[in-house]
Structure 1
C-alpha cells in the first residue's frame, strides 16, 4: 500500500523485480481520488527497461500490467 500525500494527477509507479525488467506505470487517478471498493481495469506498462539491456519486445511489454484501487 502506498499513501498519496500530494494532490497531483502526475503519479508514476516503478516496479523493480530482481533479475527481470523494470516497469514504469502512470497511475491514472484524479488529483483527489475517492475510495474505490473495486480494482480498476488492467493497464499495460507505460515504459520498460529490460534487465539484460536488450530491446523491449511486445512479448516483454505484454507481460507487465497492473490493476489498482484507492483505499
Structure 2
C-alpha cells in the first residue's frame, strides 16, 4: 500500500509542478507580449487542473505521513 501511495505521490507531484510551470510561463509570456487575452486563456486552461493536482498531492502526502516508514 505504501509503495503504491509513494508512486501516486510522485506522479501527482510531477504533474502538479509541470502544470503549474506551464501556467506561470504562459502568463509570463502573455505579459511580456502585452497580450491580456493570452494571460486569461492560460489561467482558464491551467489553473483548475493545477489546483486539483495540488489538492490530490497534498492529500496523498498527508496520508503518507500516517504510514510507517520502510527502511
Give TM-score scaled by structure 2 length.
0.22
The structure with higher relative contact order (CA 8 Å, sep 6+) is: 2
Q: Counting helix residues as a fraction of each chain, which structure ranks higher?
A: 2
Larger radius of gyration: 2
